[in-house]
Structure 1
Amino acid sequence: MHALIIEDEFLIADLIQDGLRDLGYQSFDIAESEAAAVKLAAERCPDLVTADDRLTDGSGVEAVRSICENRPIPVVFITGDERHIRDEVLDAIVVQKPFRSADLKDAVGLAITKRIWFRQTM
């Protein structure tokens, strides 16, 4: 399984990757910007996307909107501003930073088993 991690903080991206590896994900792309995320997803469609919203260059929410425009992909937002995500994305699955591996595991499980995909809210 392949995951796209949209996160501009290297250490946090590394923690997410470790957590996803424990859940059976075997390959990863890490995008530090909105544009890089969209490009990487176009090159290889991920089985899961994790995204922070506020990136140094762009928005994780906008990247996810572009990536999921024509295809359903489970998405977990990992952010320090849960309220902002919930205001922007209907039915968002959100893990609040700082997070524990159990939080990530629960959120990924919910995204996949409940089939809660990113939905356009606009």
Structure 2
Amino acid sequence: MHALIIEDEFLVALNIEDSLEALGFTSRETVATEDKAVTTARHHPPDLITADVRLLRGSGIAAVKRILQEQTVPVVFITGNVEVVRQEMPEAVVVSKPFGEEALRRAVAVARARAA
């Protein structure tokens, strides 16, 4: 399984990568901008997306919305801006930073079930 990690903080991205590997994701790709996220998802469709709200350039929310126009994929937002996600995408699966592996595991299961 392949995960697209939309995150601009290097250490957070590494933590997400490690957690997803423990959940069985054998391929992980990290991007830090909205446009790169959209392009990457287009060229290598993910089985899961994790996204932060604020990025180096652009928005994780905007990136996810653009990607979901082209494909169906489970999404988990991992962010310190939970309320922003709730306002923009009320049905989104959200994990608050800092997060634990168990919280991410549960969120991934919910996101996958919703996308099925």
Within a 5 Å distance, the mapping from 1:45-60 to structure 2 comes to 45-60=45-60
Task: Provide the C-alpha distance between the structure 2 equivalents of 1:8 and 1:96, rounded to a whole number of angstroms.
Answer: 16
Task: Provide the C-alpha distance between the structure 1 equivalents of 2:28 and 2:100, rounded to a whole number of angstroms.
Answer: 20
Matching residue of 1:37:
37
**Given the superposition, is the C-alpha separation of residues 86 and 116 from structure 1 closer, same or farther in structure 2, using an over 3 Å criterion?**
farther
Deviation of 1:13 after TM superposition, in Å, equals 0.4
Within a 5 Å distance, the mapping from 1:1-122 to structure 2 comes to 1-112=1-112, 114-116=113-115
Partner of 1:41, secondary structure, is: helix
The number of residues matched between the two structures is: 116
The superposition leaves residues 34-90 of structure 1 with CA deviations (integer Å, 9 ceiling, x where unpaired) of 011111111100000000011121100110111110221000000001011000003
**Structure 2, unpaired ranges of 5+:** none
Alpha carbons 2:72, 2:115 under 8 Å: kept:
no
TM-score, L = length of structure 2? 0.96
Task: Provide the C-alpha distance between the structure 2 equivalents of 1:41 and 1:71, rounded to a whole number of angstroms.
Answer: 9
Task: Provide the C-alpha distance between the structure 1 equivalents of 2:78 and 2:92, rounded to a whole number of angstroms.
Answer: 10
Q: Percent identity?
A: 48
Task: Provide the C-alpha distance between the structure 2 equivalents of 1:11 and 1:71, rounded to a whole number of angstroms.
Answer: 28
Q: Which has the higher helix share?
A: 2
Amino acid at match of 1:3: A
The superposition leaves residues 71-122 of structure 1 with CA deviations (integer Å, 9 ceiling, x where unpaired) of 210000000010110000031100000111111111001111x2248xxxxx
TM-score, L = length of structure 1? 0.91
Partner of 1:29, secondary structure, is: strand
Matching residue of 1:120:
none
Q: CA RMSD in A?
A: 1.1
